[in-house]
Structure 1
């Protein structure tokens, strides 16, 4: 235990890699939530374990229309494994019952309905005593291509929708965090993300979720070339230039950051289904990974003077799209927990 002296930020594993990219022809089947909980609870490094999980409010894991009885059962199942729940993801996209934040009145209504349902569940889990911290995550549910048809008009419409979402969040005493992923219109670059955060203008209710894998791609400007900080053919062996770029990026977004995902990324992009170009999550020890996980996390978790911020009371590993075969191996989760501990060791605190 003395090798890992800090207790905060708490260490969480994401359950949604058991659902995202699973099911359908040619894909691995979904991994049940109980299995994801078991894999998380079983991981152990130097006597330390995961503290909790973050959840996707989507079948077959947790229905966005879950009843109180189903949520009580969920809380019991999580507690029984010595875990808590942190952030939850609201399924705001049209294929999951939501709609575009830049859409027509019907689509916006569907989007906001999913936000309300997500906040309802988040509050209930707090009241059940199993969720001591965390946010409700969302994005714009708008493609970059659709956004680009009318950048100013769509950015304004998205901001209005998210202001309405903040009003909903206030009713439930919840906070919303926008996922910084380059496939979402209005969030496809660090500049458009900062612009949107300022337009919404409710930092007490609406902030930024920094995922190390996704925000790395902000540097390269794949879906917003004018906002690139580094060239797409950047030589990743130039660590000093990479750190300078991360410093510029985090200076712009850190003040808004209220939720944080530890991840690894190989700086490549791909598009799947309704997604525009977006990034891949890699295992922490992937030889193609471009991040020094513990060091680079510090750009988000420390301020300009190098002091630990303590803004995020928990951090979460995000590792979508790994094959089921990899996810069922205990060593996968031990290596991930080890990476999480390295971030806590470097930027953690005690209370």
Structure 2
């Protein structure tokens, strides 16, 4: 019996939303996602909490009574709340002054919800997640100028977040301009230069950083890479994680088959695979250690919970209880290898 009780194991609610919609499949209701999460169980272990999307499922304009109802609903499933995704896509971080003001306002509203959930005792850990809300193609028009704009917007958002005691985590994903390679992500983070700015690593997306999909000059693995070359893959994962781990304040466990995919209105990005997909290129439980341990192999304990992320799956997969049991089993293996015990 493994005694580790940290990091806490969370499930993401946004896979019920991302890639769904009129030109795909219907959104999966928040209550359904919550029920499936709460029902998952492996050898007596259950999910500890959920990370939330403040769009579709949850209105970012919730008043305090609405926030209390949300806290009660999640608590009623014996779950905590962790990180929140801010709905910043209406105002690109490198857009006009008005658009950037809108971006910061969405962060403010998200941080208010986060602060209230923490005060209500249902949110013991977590950050507010953001991205640039801009495409790599648009960013390419003026890399230096656009990175400066993104950094300026992120700084303003950080200053607002600090008033609520919140940290912001920039999502490392190949579909967001200025964040679409491991080097551009690092440059953006360094340009922001705020103590409450960090990086949100997702194993599926950071694997795609090695392939340079939207920025070939930053590619680490060769074009004809043989996925059976585990030593080279390990070196690549180490390069990216060593660069970005010092910034990492939020972490998603995930699997990827080394390809890109998009559905609904979502741009192509790292294809999330099911936990047990035989085409997955990652040894999930082992490779999570690149982010949960430092370069000397010591646990960082930087974040108190980790979250599963798997988006753009068919609803038939998402509403199958076994899907979530398999995910939970994978998360448990990560905690066995890289977790710790606290009283």
TM-score (norm 2): 0.98
Shift of 1:23: 2.2
Q: Which residue of 2 aligns with 1:24?
A: 22
Inter-partner Cα distance in structure 1 for 2:196 and 2:308: 23
Q: Which residue of 2 aligns with 1:234?
A: 225
Shift of 1:110: 0.9
Is 2:162 aligned against 1:177?
Answer: no
Is 2:126 aligned against 1:134?
Answer: yes
Assess if the C-alpha contact under 8 Å between 1:143 and 1:276 holds in 2. no
Q: 1:324 to 1:247 in 2, by over 3 A?
A: same
Inter-partner Cα distance in structure 2 for 1:244 and 1:174: 34
Inter-partner Cα distance in structure 1 for 2:223 and 2:107: 35
Inter-partner Cα distance in structure 2 for 1:77 and 1:210: 28
Query: In the TM superposition, what are the counterparts of 1:12-161 in structure 2 within 5 Å?
Result: 12-25=10-23, 27-59=24-56, 61-94=57-90, 99-161=91-153
Any idea what SS the aligned residue of 2:238 has?
helix
Any idea what SS the aligned residue of 2:299 has?
coil
Q: Which residue of 2 aligns with 1:313?
A: 304
Assess if the C-alpha contact under 8 Å between 2:49 and 2:79 holds in 1. yes
**Aligned match of 1:168 in 155, 160, 166?**
160
Any idea what SS the aligned residue of 1:157 has?
helix
Any idea what SS the aligned residue of 1:22 has?
coil
Is 2:286 aligned against 1:295?
Answer: yes
Any idea what SS the aligned residue of 1:132 has?
coil
Assess if the C-alpha contact under 8 Å between 1:88 and 1:134 holds in 2. yes
Assess if the C-alpha contact under 8 Å between 1:212 and 1:297 holds in 2. yes
Q: Which residue of 1 aligns with 2:322?
A: 331
Inter-partner Cα distance in structure 2 for 1:106 and 1:233: 45
Inter-partner Cα distance in structure 2 for 1:50 and 1:232: 39
Is 2:209 aligned against 1:218?
Answer: yes
Q: Which residue of 1 aligns with 2:341?
A: 350
Runs of 4+ in 1 over 6 A off after TM superposition: none
Any idea what SS the aligned residue of 2:255 has?
coil
Assess if the C-alpha contact under 8 Å between 1:87 and 1:137 holds in 2. yes
Q: Which residue of 2 aligns with 1:199?
A: 191
Q: 1:276 to 1:58 in 2, by over 3 A?
A: closer
Shift of 1:270: 3.4
Any idea what SS the aligned residue of 2:288 has?
helix
Is 2:331 aligned against 1:340?
Answer: yes
Q: 1:277 to 1:330 in 2, by over 3 A?
A: closer
Unpaired stretches in structure 1, ≥5 consecutive residues: none
Q: Pairwise CA RMSD of aligned residues?
A: 1.1
Shift of 1:272: 5.2
Render the CA deviation track for 1:153-205: whole Å, top value 9, x for unaligned: 00011111111011001100000000000111100110111111111111x31
Shift of 1:30: 1.2
Shift of 1:101: 0.4
Between the two proteins, the alignment pairs up a number of residues equal to 342
Assess if the C-alpha contact under 8 Å between 1:57 and 1:63 holds in 2. yes
Shift of 1:301: 0.4
Q: 1:279 to 1:136 in 2, by over 3 A?
A: same
Assess if the C-alpha contact under 8 Å between 1:183 and 1:275 holds in 2. no
Assess if the C-alpha contact under 8 Å between 2:92 and 2:134 holds in 1. yes
Unpaired stretches in structure 2, ≥5 consecutive residues: none
Inter-partner Cα distance in structure 1 for 2:292 and 2:37: 24
Q: Which residue of 2 aligns with 1:187?
A: 179
Assess if the C-alpha contact under 8 Å between 1:271 and 1:277 holds in 2. yes
Q: 1:232 to 1:85 in 2, by over 3 A?
A: farther
Q: 1:23 to 1:272 in 2, by over 3 A?
A: closer
Any idea what SS the aligned residue of 2:306 has?
strand
Is 2:248 aligned against 1:252?
Answer: no
Any idea what SS the aligned residue of 1:197 has?
helix
